[in-house]
Structure 1
Amino acid sequence: MKLSKQNRKHHSAALELLTKDKLTWEEQQFFFDNYFECADFDVSKAGAFFTPSDLALDAALENGQTDKEIHVLDLCAGIGVLSWAVLTRCPNAKVTAVEQNPKWVEIGKKLLPEVNWICADLAELDLVELGYFDSVVTNPPFGRVPTLKSLKCPRYTGSEAHYKVLDIASVMAPSITAIIPQQSCSWAYSKKRSFSEQTSKQLDRFVSETGIQFGMNMGIDTSSYGSFKATNITVEVVCCEYESASWEDFGVGSNVLPFIKCDVAPKQTNVVPIADAPDIPSNNKRREQLAAGHQLDMFG
């Protein structure tokens, strides 16, 4: 994508910040807002569109706000804007970010050195060894993405990359906050006059195979925020509701999950195993978590 003269200027100013030893919170936000991922990469082919920083900050509220130590996994992290938003809301969180683009991981490590960055393809990463987390945040690749074509999932057998990532995430944590295309959601709220339900063959297949439902957020209209830089797509912030599961439920090493034990060594750095993984609740639908007090105190 060819940038305008002004956007190129902003992009260069953002890159200049990487020469500093440490960035302030405001400089981090400036970088997220002015770094154009489409300047050097064909993001449309990869279906990778970075979340606007203001949207990321509000989406992170769905994950709670607390000073407690929690373990959060950021899947398909890009340069880490969702990780940054989580750390803004939960400063003592232990965040692990997985991203396959080495350049974006390099940038992410400079922006957020406190995050445990893993440079790896999801199809090659040993997800069982990675462990369980308190929650997952993700803005996954949208649509049918060639780089994730070989990615196998616990239940979902379709081709939509964002559905694949959500199916995997549901086995790694009892809570998922995700940003997905509005057309792939079971409801529409953003850029609409009112809330409405919707469906599609692809969505019906995903729900039927995984049991994952898309819960409404706190009232986030994504059209009210800064726009994505390389696409005009409308998205929704979804709070996934699903029954708990573990890798053992699907047979580790079986044909169901061929990616769990792989022969290809993933490219990763500073991998820190999660020592004290949270217990997996017997039923982790979001409304039941709220009723049981499992969800973090929004104002804690």
Structure 2
Amino acid sequence: MKQLLILSGKGGTGKTTIASAFIKLADAKAYADCDVDAPNLHLITGWNTEPKKTDYYGLPKAEINLELCNECDQCRQNCRFDAIKVEPHYKVDPFSCEGCGVCEYVCPAEAITLKPVVAGELMLYSDGEKVFSTAQLKIGNGTSGMLVTEVKKQMKSVAADAELAIIDGSPGIGCPVIASLSGVDMVLIVVEPSISGISDMERIINTAAKFGTKTAVCINKYDTNIKHTEKIEEYCKKQELPYIGRIPFDSNAVKAINNGQTIVDIDCTSGTAVKEVYHKTMSLLFEKGGN
């Protein structure tokens, strides 16, 4: 299975719009949405069936047994996350607790235990031919990287024989992006021509380089700032990075997404441009002698 990961250094670049178009063009049998904090690929991939849902357990949370608690205050004094409250009895704030276990260790009355907590939900769509893996992390939980790993495992376990898997990653360079990068064959970075877009592009390129992953770049909404578009193209040339095309700003793209369609489902300029980017990406991904 060849795994193509689509990333952007920042949100709002059109990463998911391009990922959904690639899935449609490739008629992909396996794909995943690894933006577990705010998944939205399911809105435009046309699934009418309910997914198989599985609880995801992240880090445990501390719980205080008030019948055993002698209110010695050791737990509160030693909690570096300020998760122990006294209102009026000792209580753990689950949104602040990191499950480190210090409070359990220092409690002389053994009144504190770490309990497993559901931190999110894995979802798997499958019709016997195609597989779509995604998840939703619950508010206040910080184990997004671990959940991304589970999303990828879930996809591969069901669609191990698929020739191609397309993965829609998270914005930024944090834990979910690092987990997404692990084991993929190629990264396509979607950049917007803005100052923040260029800065974040450089950060995600450097992150991908640490994994030794083949990387290519395309520019979305290139015509909103030609000067910055040219800067991005020059940067790719200097860094000897494959630059595989421009996609114009297109108001019809918004209409398509709002109708639950991809930009290649309608006749529009962005859809025409993304087809060329798709073919260049596939050639680079499956090139002879490639990784």
TM over 0.5: no
> TM-score with structure 1 length normalisation?
0.31
Higher relative contact order (CA 8 A, sep 6+): 2
| Larger strand proportion of the pair | 2
Larger-Rg structure = 2
